[in-house]
Amino acid sequence: MNKTLFLRIVHRLEQEVDYFKPSEDATGRSSLTALQKCTAAIRQLAYGGGADTVDEYVRLGETTARKCLHHFTNAIIHLFGDEYLRSPTPEDLQRLLYIGEQRGFPGMVGSIDCMHWEWKNCPAAWKGMYSRGTGKPTIVLEAVADYDLWI
């Protein structure tokens, strides 16, 4: 994710979602910044690590990191869902096909990415159906990102 997009998301969350607004605790100390909370959430999403893996990087505990992720994902769906988390309209497809053709990729709508995410709490009865020879069950996550996410 480029820096401009990340900072735009952080700013919007800080302005519109109470959890990300600056606050103080009972002793008058400042709470975590929106930048810290969003960084913790995005690192968990990007690297697939547990909530305790952001402790050394962002300096917050496991419970707080989990709470950041929960509030972040809910806020992203609420604030950006209608615009970005949807199927493309016919007008979107035409525009994306045109952009792809201009860049030398005729017929391309977007870039697809997929990964196998480890399913730590997979029910024992399903483990064999979701394992690919590694012995660890995984779920395949797929996403298509179009040109609009880079603007």
- Max alpha carbon distance in the chain (Å)? 60
Element (H, E) at 15: helix 3-16
CA–CA gap between residue 29 and residue 24 (Å, rounded)? 5
Domain locations in the chain as residue ranges? 3-84, 90-150
Of 28, 79, 12, nearest to 20 by C-alpha is 12
Question: According to the per-residue pLDDT averaged within each range, which of 21-25, 108-112, 133-137 is highest?
Answer: 21-25
Quick one: CA dihedral 78, 79, 80, 83, positive or negative?
positive
Q: Is the pTM of this model over 0.95?
A: no
Q: Chain-wide mean pLDDT for the chain?
A: 84
pLDDT tens profile 75-126: 999 998 887 777 778 998 898 888 888 888 888 877 777 777 788 888 888 8
pLDDT tens profile 28-81: 888 889 999 999 998 888 877 777 777 777 778 888 889 999 999 999 999 988
CA–CA gap between residue 16 and residue 21 (Å, rounded)? 8
